Amino acid sequence: MNAKAMKWFVYSQSLLFFASSLIFPFYILFIKNVGSSYSQFGLAYGLFGLSGAFIHLLLGKLPETTDRRIFLIIHSFGMAFLLLLFPHITEVGQVYIIQLALGALGGFQKHGEKLLVTDLTTENKRMKEVGHYHFWTALFSSIAIMLGGLFADFFTVYFIFYASSILYLCSALMVLYIKNKR
């Protein structure tokens, strides 16, 4: 196992999950409030899932020599950009477009995460290393959910989207410190 690379991977993904969980409850309310019916909400969520599914087929065709970090970098930079757009969305059609982009970006993150976990862990210690990884990402995620409500009370929901955008950007920069020797 490359301990230093795994450490940076855990840091970057913990920050990513913190950013994601910070906005998630407000993101759900936000997309529900833009539409006028549950069917629009359902369609928006379905588009998210579909774009995520189809992106996996495309990513799976890339050569094995592809740097695994690129998936996480694309995801984090893409999310940082998209979160800046959220406060300006006013139409349900815009929600559908954002949902397609979010689903595709989520596919990049899942793909890169799984490949890097496999690359950075050793077979005889993988259970322990993956458990450690999931502990830290889940811990940061749960802290963010609790802080999100507090931040919404003291600031605005827009502040949370902007703050999460910055956290995603920082996560992308942390990924650059992952030196994966495959």
| Domain-located, residue 180 | no
Please give the helix or strand (H or E) that residue 42 lies within, else none. helix 38-59
Give me the pLDDT at residue 125, please: 87
Give me the pLDDT at residue 50, please: 96
What is the residue range of 132's domain? 3-175
Per-residue pLDDT tens over the stretch 54-64: 999 999 999 99
**Torsion over CA of 4, 142, 129 and 76, rounded to 10 degrees?**
-50
Q: What is the pTM of this model?
A: 0.89
| Domain-located, residue 73 | yes
Per-residue pLDDT tens over the stretch 123-176: 888 899 999 999 999 999 999 988 888 888 888 888 888 999 999 999 999 998
Give me the pLDDT at residue 124, please: 87
Q: Is the pLDDT of residue 181 over 80?
A: no
CB of 10 closer than 8 Å to CB of 137: yes
Give me the pLDDT at residue 182, please: 59
C-alpha to C-alpha distance for 17 and 140, rounded to whole angstroms: 7
| Domain-located, residue 181 | no
Provide the domain count of the chain. 1
Per-residue pLDDT tens over the stretch 74-113: 999 999 999 999 888 888 888 899 999 999 999 999 999 9
CATH of the domain at 12: 1.20.1250.20
